Amino acid sequence: MKLKSLNPELMPLNSMPAAKGYYYIPPFWGPMFLTRHEERILDGEEGLGQQKAMEILTALGKIFDAEKLIPINSAHLSGVSYKTIGEGGLQFLDSLKGEAQVRVKTTLNPAGMDLERWRDMGVNPHFADRQIAIIDSYRSLGVQTCCTCTPYLHHNVPRLGEHVAWAESNALSFVNSVIGARTNREGGPGALAAAIIGKTPLYGLHLEENRHPSVIVEADIGDDMLSHSLLGQVVGKKLGNAVPYFRGIDPDIDRLKTMAAAMAAAGAIALFHVEGVTPMDLEYELNDLERIEVDFSDIEEAKESLTSGKEPDLIALGCPHLSEVEMREIATLLETRERKRDIEVWFCTNRRVKELCPREVATLEKFGKVVCDTCMVVAPIEDHHECTGTNSAKACNYLPGLCSQKVVCDTTKGLLELIS
Ligand code: F3S
């Protein structure tokens, strides 16, 4: 049933009398205002692709009680690997070809393979063919096909206070927390719809009142990378979707990204603050907040709980994708060593980082493969491997279920000592 516009640019969709130009919205949904232009899009006047996207955004907005749509500056999309979206996902993307274009800078999460050296990874030609079709579909929509889960380091860097619509849990948590941009925890379709319309519903972490810390975490865990990942694991598991405020740590960018990834995988945390580190740390009143403590024994316990295997036949580093600094650190660790055992090793990163680190890439390639565009979780590793060693709590969470793997959780140094 259609309803008619009385006149204003902004009218609540479900509080209007029946009249032309407004959609009937079932009464259990909250009021949501659309501009006349948004209404025309919903009406299909600007094409099927935009209409589909607007339908997704208005449905989300009503479920979450958003008052209206707001403009965004960028989007980041998940749902790229053929392993995770399959034929259904490819058909949906194909249905948008020629029907829609993204309106804001939009980047893409890892695919199921290195788009150039997929044969080296043992990916079968059918999978490769479908994966390339998915990438082509995204490209036809105007999406930048960088295929990385760390676009915030190079390809797509939001600014403090900007509204964006990002999927990929580590990335959206990083831009919310470390950069101070504002995004909800978008799914693939929601982020794509937002990219096509250039807007997102105003609710959740776009609103200041939902960005306040809710729990103080006093951490005593040391400085190494794995401990920060496991801190994310402990806190994510314990706090679910709270907004933690960390004290007692001084993480660099790489530690922040591994924490963000683990908290989002073990729980649903999409925003955190770190005293003296993240941009909004001084903005909030902390007096009445609950406190929890995390120490070395919690970290050790988390490591044990994530470990289910003994002898990895794949060692995979780079979850989230390795930065230039991490590539340098690994190269330094390996420089004076020789490869002694024949275990498959992947160093997962993005193509930009690979280009920026030719010397490090040369060192790493003596011990394994520098793999771009993909990662150990979204590639079909289960076709060739049974047990994966990783230094990422996020990967440890997903490898058993998504890749049928046993897992060895260890430090970068500990894992590389298995081969050198
Ligand atoms: Fe990135 Fe894959 Fe880990 S998408 S965060 S490397 S699971």
DSSP 245-312: EEES----HHHHHHHHHHHHHHS-----EETTTSTTTTSS--TT-EEEEEEHHHHHHHHHHH---SS-
Beta bridge partners of 217: 246, 292
**Residues 114, 156 within the same domain:** yes
User: Are 141 and 185 found together in one domain?
Assistant: yes
pLDDT above 90 for 393: yes
**Ligand 1 near 375 CB (within 6 A):** yes
The residue nearest atom 6 of ligand 1, judged by CA position, is 319
What confidence tens digit (pLDDT) does each residue in 210-242 have?
999 999 999 999 999 999 999 999 999 999 999
Q: Do the beta carbons of residue 243 and residue 267 sit within 8 Å?
A: no
Q: Are residues 236 and 125 in the same domain?
A: no
62 and 79 inside one domain? no
The residue-averaged pLDDT of 345-364 equals: 98
Residue 296's nearest CA partner among 253, 258, 248 is 248
Average pLDDT of the residues in 299-314: 98
What is the total residue count of the chain? Answer: 420
Closest residue CA from atom 4 of ligand 1: 149
**Residue pLDDT, tens place only, 261-276:** 999 999 999 999 999 9
- Does ligand 1 come within 6 angstroms of the Cβ of 381? no
**Final residue in a domain of this structure, among 32, 66, 100:** 66
Strands of the 244-247 sheet, one edge to the other: 273-274, 244-247, 215-220, 290-295
Cα–Cα distance, 51 to 196 (Å, whole number): 10
pLDDT band, very low/low/confident/very high, at 32 (cuts 50, 70, 90): confident
Residue 103 has pLDDT above 50, yes or no: yes
Of ligand 1's listed atoms, the one at least distance from the Cα of 170 is 5
b vs e for 274-286, b when ≥16 Cβ sit within 10 Å of the residue's Cβ? bbebbebbeeeee
Q: How far apart are alpha carbons 295 and 143 in whole angstroms?
A: 43
Mean of the per-residue pLDDT values of the chain? 93
| Predicted local distance difference test score (pLDDT) of residue 31 | 73
How many angstroms is it from 249 CA to the middle of ligand 1? Answer: 23
221 and 198 both lie in a single domain: no
Query: In angstroms, rounded to a whole number, what is the distance separating the alpha carbons of residues 87 and 246?
Result: 42
Give the pTM: 0.92
Task: Give the residue, 274 or 5, on which the prediction is more confident.
Answer: 274
Domain region containing 202: 71-208
Same domain assignment for residues 195 and 257: no
Least reliable range by pLDDT among 23-27, 64-68, 178-182: 23-27
Tokens of 45: 């006047």
Q: Could you give the residue ranges of the DSSP H alpha helices within 64-156?
A: 82-96, 125-140
Query: Does the pLDDT value for residue 20 go beyond 50?
Result: no
Distance in Å, CA 302 to ligand 1 centroid: 19
pLDDT higher at 11 or 139: 139
What's the CA-to-centroid distance between 10 and ligand 1, angstroms?
40
| CA–centroid distance, residue 319 to ligand 1 (Å) | 5
Name the domain boundary from 13, 36, 66: 66
Task: For ligand 1, atom 2, name the residue with the nearest CA.
Answer: 375
Ligand 1 nearest atom to the CA of residue 109, by list position: 4
pLDDT tier at 21 (50, 70, 90 boundaries)? very low
Determine whether the shortest distance from the Cβ of 54 to ligand 1 is under 6 A: no
Mean pLDDT over 180-186 rounds to: 98
Show the DSSP H helices in 175-252 as ranges: 188-197, 225-239
The domain boundary, picked from 276, 304, 332, lies at 304
- Peptide bond between residue 189 and the one before it cis (omega within 30 degrees of 0): no
Q: What is the pLDDT of residue 26?
A: 46
Task: Reply yes or no on whether the pLDDT at 22 is more than 60.
Answer: no
Residue 282 pLDDT: 86
Query: In 3D, which of 360, 404, 354, 355 has the Cα closest to residue 379?
Result: 404
pLDDT band at 29 (very low <50, low <70, confident <90, very high): low
Task: Measure the CA–CA gap between 88 and 92, rounded to whole angstroms.
Answer: 6
Q: What confidence tens digit (pLDDT) does each residue in 330-351 have?
A: 999 999 999 999 999 999 999 9
* Overall average pLDDT of the 37-66 stretch: 96
- At residue 230's C-alpha, the angle toward residues 83 and 392, to 5°, is 35
Gap from CA of 272 to ligand 1 centroid (Å): 19
How many domains is the chain built from?
Answer: 4
Do residues 357 and 295 share a domain? no
Cα of 372 vs centre of ligand 1, distance in Å, is: 12
Nearest CA to ligand 1 atom 3: 319
Find out whether 123 and 380 touch, Cβ atoms under 8 Å. yes
Residue 297's Cβ-side half-sphere holds a number of Cα atoms within 13 Å equal to 1
Same domain assignment for residues 228 and 110: no
Atom of ligand 1 nearest to the CA of 149: 1
Q: Is the pLDDT of residue 9 over 50?
A: no
pLDDT greater than 80 at residue 190: yes
**Residues sharing a CB contact under 8 Å with residue 362, sequence separation 6 or more, in sequence order:** none
For residue 13, the model assigns a pLDDT of 38
Q: Is the pLDDT of residue 5 over 90?
A: no
pLDDT number for residue 1: 24
In the predicted model, is pLDDT for residue 2 greater than 80?
A: no
Q: Is residue 192 located within the same domain as residue 228?
A: no
**Can you tell me the distance from the alpha carbon of 169 to that of 191, in angstroms, rounded to the nearest whole number?**
12
Q: What mean pLDDT do residues 232-258 have?
A: 97
d(CA 214, CA 315): 37
- pLDDT, tens only, 110-124: 999 999 999 999 999
Same structural domain, 297 and 313 = no
Closest ligand 1 atom to the C-alpha of 318?
6
Question: How far does residue 154's CA lie from ligand 1's centre (Å)?
Answer: 16
Q: How far is the CA of 381 from the centre of ligand 1 (A)?
A: 14
Predicted local distance difference test score (pLDDT) of residue 18: 31
Q: How far is the CA of 134 from the centre of ligand 1 (A)?
A: 18
pLDDT above 70: percentage of residues in the chain: 93
Q: Which two tokens stand for residue 46?
A: 């600007």
Do 78 and 187 lie in a common domain? Answer: yes
278 and 363 fall within a common domain: no
Q: How far apart are CA 172 and CA 184, in angstroms?
A: 8
The pLDDT value given to residue 30 = 58
CA of 43 to the centre of ligand 1 (A): 38
What is the mean pLDDT of the segment spanning 314-336?
Answer: 98
Position 14 confidence tier, pLDDT thresholds 50, 70, 90? very low
pLDDT tens digits for 395-411? 999 999 999 999 999 99
Index of the ligand 1 atom closest to the CA of residue 321? 6
> Among 263, 370, 391, 394, which is best to mutate for testing ligand 1, by the most ligand atoms less than 8 A from CB?
394
For residue 65, the model assigns a pLDDT of 94
**Does ligand 1 lie within 6 Å of residue 395's CB atom?**
yes
Q: Percent of the chain scored above 90 by pLDDT?
A: 91
CATH number for the domain spanning 370: value is: 3.30.499.10
pLDDT of 19: 33
> Which atom number of ligand 1 is nearest to the Cα of residue 261?
5
* CA 378 – ligand 1 centroid, Å: 8
Amino acid at 111: A
